[in-house]
Chains A and B, each alone.
Chain A
Amino acid sequence: MKKVLTLLFVISIVASCSSSDNGPDTTDNFDRSAMLVNWADNIIVPSYQAYKGELDELKTKSDGFIASPSVATLNELRTAWQEAYKKWQHVSMFEIGRAEALTLRNFTNIFPADASEIDQNIAQGNYNLTLPSTNDEQGFPALDYLLNGIASDDASIVNALNTTNHKNYLNDVVTRLRDLGTEVLNDWTTTYRDTFVNNNGSSASSAVNKLVNDFMFYYEKSLRAGKIGIPAGVFSNNTFNEKVEAFYKGDFSKALFLEALNAAQNFFNGKHYSSSTTGQSLKSYLDFLNTIKEGTDLSQLINNQFNGSRTSATNLENSFSQQVTTNNTLMLQTYDQLQMNVVLMKVDMFQALSIQVDFVDADGD
Chain B
Amino acid sequence: MTSASTPASVARTGTGSDSGTARATEGGARSGTAVAYLRHAAGKLAGAAVSLLAVLVTSFFLFRIIPGDPVKTMTHGMPTTAEQLATLRRQFGLDLPLWQQFTDYCAKALTGDLGTSYQFRAPVGELIAQKLPATLLLTGTAVVLYSALGLWLGTRSAWRHGSLGDRLNTGVALTLWSVPSFWLGLLLIIVFSVGVGPVPGLFPTGGMESGTGETGLGYALDVAHHMVLPVLTLVAVGYAQTLLVMRSSLLDEMGGDYLTTARAKGLRDDAVRRRHAVPNALLPTVTMVFINLGHVAAGSILVETVFSWPGLGGLFYQALSVPDLPLVQGLFVVFAGAMIMTNLIADLLYPLLDPRVGR
- Chain A bound to chain B: no
List B residues at the A interface (Cβ < 8 Å): none
- Could you list which residues of chain A lie within 8 angstroms of chain B, going by C-beta atoms? none
